[in-house]
């Protein structure tokens, strides 16, 4: 994936000598790749071979941390706003 993005960026930069909009497109492609591409493709690839690699426990650990933090905030909300929490539970049940 990285080689495709890099080669596409090089092509856009070369085309950018004639039209500067292509340089902006190259910057946008690089930004999107750094922001979204590397993180989503790293766990599936690599030397470990996907789920059997060393990144799966870290992903699960981060999931557990997010879930526990969310549960903590929900408990705090119910404790600090009991009437609102009961009203929302009634609405959810109906």
- pLDDT band (50, 70, 90) for residue 68: very high
List, for residues 4-59, the tens digit of each pLDDT value: 888 888 888 888 888 888 888 888 888 888 888 765 544 444 444 444 555 567 88
In the prediction, which pLDDT does 83 show?
A: 92
d(CA 90, CA 94): 6
Structure tokens at 80: 């600090």
List, for residues 76-94, the tens digit of each pLDDT value: 999 999 999 889 889 988 8
In the block, tokens 């596409």 appear at 8
CB of 7 closer than 8 Å to CB of 1: no
CB atoms under 10 Å from CB of 73, counted, come to 10
Q: What is the DSSP letter of 69?
A: H
Overall pTM > 0.85: no
């Amino acid at each position: 994936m990285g080689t495709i993005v890099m080669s596409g960026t090089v092509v856009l930069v070369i085309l950018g000598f004639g039209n500067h909009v292509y340089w902006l497109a190259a910057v946008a492609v690089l930004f999107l790749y750094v922001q979204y591409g590397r993180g989503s493709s790293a766990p599936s690839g690599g030397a470990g071979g996907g789920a059997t690699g060393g990144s799966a426990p870290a992903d699960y650990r981060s999931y557990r941390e997010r879930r526990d933090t969310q549960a903590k905030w929900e408990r705090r909300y119910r404790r600090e706003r009991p009437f609102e929490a009961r009203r929302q539970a009634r609405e959810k049940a109906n």
